Amino acid sequence: MTKHSDIFTPEGYMENLQDRLLQIPAAEKRPGLVTRIMPYIAYAASLVLIAAAGNFILRKTAVSTEEVSPSEDWTYMSYLAQSLDSDCMLPELPEYTLTEDDIVNYLVDDGLTLEELVSYEENY
């Protein structure tokens, strides 16, 4: 039994088919609107996501003013007021004069040998 196909091609159709296909100009495909704006949508979505995450983190870690008791605030303010003089400047430190014993003790603590220390005392 042989099958007959109802589909047939005209004579000579397959000859030079490749050359005829190459003569058809390629149509320029222009991207659609969604394809063109998709990078901008992704950029905007990432900015919104970052802003939302930052807002969430800041709200969870921020200390509200209700959590600070007035006594703690007053303690800080009184400490600050005591450390400043009347001109709102830090108090002056008392003058300190450096003695020769201070220099020798510093040099000994710094690992100076006895010979270097004797040489220092002889020169100064």
Residue 119 domain-assigned (yes or no): no
- Give the tens place of pLDDT for each residue, 15-71: 888 888 888 888 788 888 988 999 999 999 999 999 999 999 988 887 665 665 555
pLDDT in tens, 63-119: 665 665 555 556 666 666 666 656 666 666 677 788 888 887 887 788 878 788 788
pTM above 0.75, yes or no: no
Q: In this structure, are residues 92 and 84 in contact, taking their beta carbons and an 8 Å threshold? A: no
Q: CA 3 to CA 8: how far, in whole Å?
A: 13
| 118 domain residue, yes or no | no
Does residue 26 lie within any of the structural domains? no
- Amino acid letter for position 54: G
What percent of the chain has a predicted confidence (pLDDT) above 70? 70
Residue 115 domain flag:
no
Is 27 part of any domain? no
Query: Where in the sequence is the domain holding 67, given as residue range(s)?
Result: 32-86
User: In this predicted structure, what is the pLDDT of residue 40?
Assistant: 96
